[in-house]
Chains A and B, each alone.
Chain A
Amino acid sequence: MDLFHDSPLFSGVRQMLGGFATKMIRPIAIKHDQEESMPWELMKLAAGMGLTQTSIVDGRKQMTGVDDNATDLKKPKSMARLAVVGSEELAYGCAGVCLAIGGSGLAASPVARMGTEEQKAEFRKLLHGSDEKGHIKVAAMALSEPGTGSDISGLKTIARQDGDHWVIRGSKQWITNGQSAAVYVVWAQTDEAAGRAGVRGFIVGRETPGLIPGKKETKLGIRASETAQVHFEECRVHKDMMLGVGGATTGLADTKKMLDSTRPVVGAQAVGIARAAYDFLLERVRGSSLFGTPMASHQHIMFELADMQMEITSSRMLAHKAAWMADHHLDNVAESSMAKAHGARTAQWVTTRAMVLLGEEALEPGHPVEKWYRDAKIYDIFEGTGQIQRRIISKHLTGQNPT
């Protein structure tokens, strides 16, 4: 088991992205948090480095956490573990910036998994080049709705067929890149009688009439990543842009399966936030005194740092284990939920306690630990809340959904 053995591949990624996080992300993180703006310049740079996760539709190996050739069961992959290692580093820089860089990947993944060559080409075409502001083009995965957050089975967005087109109507909520995207992967109910099996994804270009980017949300944290509503009013999409037609994998079930690979990545991002706060506190403790005694001489403080170290290490190992299982084509449903839920808990706890131990200092505007406290909370909410993760783990134990 290579979980404990730092292969050159993993340590190389860790070093490269760790440096990127410290030198490139950290210096701009507070500004984008305060301004609630996307780090377009850095996103461009990251795109050049292959970090934006959109080129997976090209079939090239990228850091996605999703194997686009999951059917080859003979060979273990390293994609999930690479994504876990890399995500921790990027989120160590800033989770909001990390999500801004990776945001398009949410939409690219189902296209890579389910798309035909024509659909991938269309997706690539829509993402090609830059917009009138010189910004790189980004993609948005539009699944959640005002009424369907945790429970994605009752989508109200409807697609009905009209000749060669599907006509989409409905509203989407909490959509990453919702306002700025050049291309959207929209999930809509095509056959209400079929329930979940009737839900399909569609590739929709921004300029498509009836696609209306909505209000941008002001958020508690991850403010460098854009979240917005998106509305579809009689939006006509050619039938060739419906994902999963004739393929082995089709609709929402496949999206849920994809989450088994991405949850450890999300857990690893939470680990990155926790480690950032822990490192900051440790650095402060090393250099400060309390009424003339070194802060590091106090058990009150040091034991809490020791606890933080334990939790961070535990969370990281859960993420690595779940990713290792994904790479080895093992059923990791429960493990990926554990990694995600544990990471979220660690990030919230470490950032909260770090603020308390730092005292009044952490109330200064633009204090990084205060920002990480706000950033950490989303990790217990998006990509399945902490309650959803526990529901998945519980079901794994008994086969039942407890209520």
Chain B
Amino acid sequence: MTTNRGSKREISLVVNGERRTVRAYPMERLLDVLREQLSLTGTKEGCGEGECGACSVLLDGELVDSCLIPVAQAEGAQILTIEGVAENSRSNALGEAFLECGGAQCGICTPGMIVAAVHLLDRSSAPTREDIREALSGNLCRCTGYLQILEAVAEAARRTAAR
């Protein structure tokens, strides 16, 4: 057991499939470590209080708000960010569907929305409209009114199942 007052420590994580080690204060937010130290700026800050979901990532396969996670608690974890999603061809169906269905307008909520959708489609290959709504209800969007996002996720699910 270690206690380090005001000093950085080495924290090891797997980010988008790659092992990374960062030097950070334990209470640095996972969001800030991803964005600033690992230059993965796709994950956004919208509120800093776990309400908007713009900072959503997958941590050990679970959808979480990275603005609420001290990086020390992510020691040894597998993190998936939007950059990792974009590289994966299965998850690319989501990106394509968002483009075709108008799921992205200003784009700032889009990374979080797509990560939340990945989390859903990892668990459910034929989600209902209600399932999709619930899965995305922690991601706020101000531009789209949500409907084209829900349609994009449904379309991506259909295409993925069809493969």
**Co-assembled chains A and B:** no
